[in-house]
Amino acid sequence: MSNKRNQRINGVGLWVVGVALTAALSLIGFELTAASPALAASSITWKVQSTWPAADFHQVNPTGLKEKIEAMSGGRLKFDLMPAGSVVPAFELLDAVHKGILDAGHAWPGYWSGKHPAATLFSSVAGGPFGMNAEDFLGWVFEGGGLELYNELLQNELKLDVVAFPTFGEAPEPQGWFAEPIKSMDDFKGLKFRAAGMSAEVFKAMGMSVVTLPGGEIVPALERKVIDAGEYSDPSSDMAMGFQDVRKFYHMPGIHQPTGFMELLVNKKKWEALPDDLKAIVRYASMAEALHFTIKMLDRNSKDLSTLVEKHGVTVVQTPRDILEEVLDGWDKVADEFSKKNPFFAKVLESQRKWAKQIVPYRSVAHPPYDLAAEHYWAGENPYKVVKP
């Protein structure tokens, strides 16, 4: 009897200690809940690699996503984030996520156009397509069935165990970097030009010799004269890559890649293993980062273009309109050819056309032209010393 009595006393004593400990921890800010980062089960850490070099401004996008997910999850889901090449080469990232070599990756769908031509329809194509800007395009992605089609492409067409989440709606890319000013289509023809995604096919149709290279290989190729000219992304990313050191004529705007998105790619088994609340955090943190990085991009690009001009002696050249129109004509031909060859490509393109037919005419009627107020207030300004053809 005495042993049982002692056990009861000990049990009561441990319960009292537990209550006291709980109260004490509460007073200093700890909570004994399943979500508590201090006392919950060990957190989940994903091994994540991007397709971006460490110096590339695009790496800010997965870094911002990592910060949001870790903060929103209270540290329950963490990213071990690495730049391009840390585990696999940039163009092998999608397969690495599928195989589980990486738990997740950050990339751009245009890199997978060699696996399936429809991938480029999510990475950006000339003219939007159908006149869409970045906001219109993200509307198609999130509200017009675009994201469902992209995951159908990855999982059904390519048979990959991968789930995708957009993390940024691409800004229009400049036409590119050249050794001399380009004044007309005739100056374009015959150049060996770096491009990616379906825009590579468009430039080929325009008479250019096109080479597709990962971002980190473009500047060395220009320096060695393996290519004559090239495009990559935006002033901030281009400057970080060192384009200004090998070419001085920066042509903009471009219409070959005005939209698209960057992506978080997650191994499907890792995704399915997450509890519902962490799935929601990944999904909505990705959407939040898409807006946040858009704002960062506008801020940085405007400042870095000034730096390119004032500190690096770069000449900004306005792209001749006939080149922009030729790009649109070239895309229409390429899109028609691929639609005839590939039913899924045609399916995605028709979905985009349907959304654009609803949105683009509305915007053109209801939204004032951007240059109306811009010229009213800033007509006399030319901070980037743009040279017009």
User: Mean of the pLDDT values across residues 226-235?
Assistant: 94
Q: Is the pLDDT of residue 323 over 80?
A: yes
Q: Among 110-114, 139-143, 263-267, 342-346, where is mean pLDDT lowest?
A: 110-114
Element counts in the chain: helices (H) and strands (E)? 15, 11
Query: Average of pLDDT values for 375-387?
Result: 94
Confidence grade of residue 27 (pLDDT, cut at 50, 70, 90): very low
The whole-angstrom separation of Cα 267 and Cα 160 is 9
Alpha-carbon distance 53 to 352, whole Å? 31
Q: Is 220 helix (H, G, I), strand (E, B) or coil?
A: helix
d(CA 138, CA 116): 21
Q: What is the pTM of this model?
A: 0.84
- What the chain holds in terms of domains, given with CATH numbers, is 44-172+260-295 (3.40.190.170), 176-255+305-366 (3.40.190.170)
Average pLDDT, the chain: 89
Q: Which residues contact 101 (CB under 8 A, 6 or more apart)?
A: 87, 88
Are 149 and 157 contacting, i.e. CB atoms less than 8 angstroms apart? no
Q: Is 302 helix (H, G, I), strand (E, B) or coil?
A: helix
SS (H, E, C) 29-71: CCCCCCCCCCCCCCCEEEEEEECCCCCCHHHHHHHHHHHHHHH
Strand 192-194's sheet: what is its strand order? 209-211, 192-194, 229-230, 176-178, 249-252, 315-318
Using the structure block, give the residue that is written with the tokens 């002692």: 6
Q: Tell me which amino acid residue 156 is.
A: N
Taking residues 306-316, what's their average pLDDT? 98
Over residues 163-180, the mean pLDDT reads: 95
Buried b / exposed e over 242-268, threshold 16 CB at 10 Å, is bbbebbbbbbbebbbbbbbbbbbbbbb
Which pLDDT belongs to residue 200?
Answer: 86
77 touches 274 (CB < 8 A):
yes
What integer is the mean pLDDT of 99-127?
A: 94
Whether residue 191 is predicted with pLDDT greater than 60 in this model: the reply is: yes
Residue 237 to residue 52: CA distance in whole angstroms: 10
Q: Within 10 A of 361 (CB to CB), how many other CB atoms are there?
A: 11
Alpha carbon of 32 to those of 26, 27, 35, 43: distances in Å? 8, 12, 8, 16
Tell me the angle at which helices 343-366 and 321-341 cross, rounded to the nearest 10 degrees: 140
Please write the tens of the pLDDT for every residue from 140-160.
999 999 999 999 999 999 999
Higher pLDDT residue, 144 or 16?
A: 144
Q: How does pLDDT run across 84-104, given as a tens digit for each residue? A: 999 999 999 999 999 999 999
Helices 134-143 and 343-366 sit at what angle, rounded to 10 degrees? 120
